[in-house]
Amino acid sequence: MASDYDGVLAPLVDVPSEAVPQPGAAEALARLAAAPGVTVALVSGRGLADLQRTSGLTGELRWIGSHGAEFDGPLTGELAERRDALAARFADLVAGTPGARLEVKPAAVAVHVRQVTDRPAAAALLAAAGALVDPSLTVKPGKDVLEVAVTDADKGSALRRLAAELGAAGVLYLGDDVTDEDAFRALGADDVTVKIGEGVTAAAHRVPDPAAAVQLLEFLADALA
């Protein structure tokens, strides 16, 4: 059982560090992780350290960060240098748009425009940032954010890797954003994919919001019990 964090287990907020888990989420995940034969994984675009610190979640969980780039540990020095060079290219661009924020992650740089009140300016900033990206980088657009990664890892390949490692009979994945579509498309007909919220999706199922996602997890925990 794998899930994205922001927008699924925690409501989307303007300040990422304030994205606390939806009430009941921690308890439901703990119950699922304790069920025989079940592995629970968090699969996020956040860096692993940020994900663990912000969520406050503990217990028998598998952690996959940076869209799968942080699977067995932090990035190598060479990739970190490429990330820092990319951040320097974006810094002046972001500074010129009030409300915009530059986030430097372990494997990527993200331009956030959720707090930009001038929406045309927000769209222009994302377009300008995208124009600076060269073919060696991986663009991961999202909700009011453009993330540019220095690796080609994605949530779908990370989930397949984890499932193979575990010898999993099936995978359930919950996601809400554009980058979660990689996971939905990567999973097979015997797996279960759930989109949280509105929007076009490759997922087979949908629930409206994080509160409903927690209800789904509680239903599963009850069934397994």
Q: Which residues are catalytic?
A: 4
Query: 180 near 140, Cβ under 8 Å?
Result: no
- Among 219, 221, 216, which residue's Cα sits nearest to residue 206? 216
Q: How far apart are CA 8 and CA 209, in angstroms?
A: 7
- Closest C-alpha to 140, from 110, 112, 103: 110
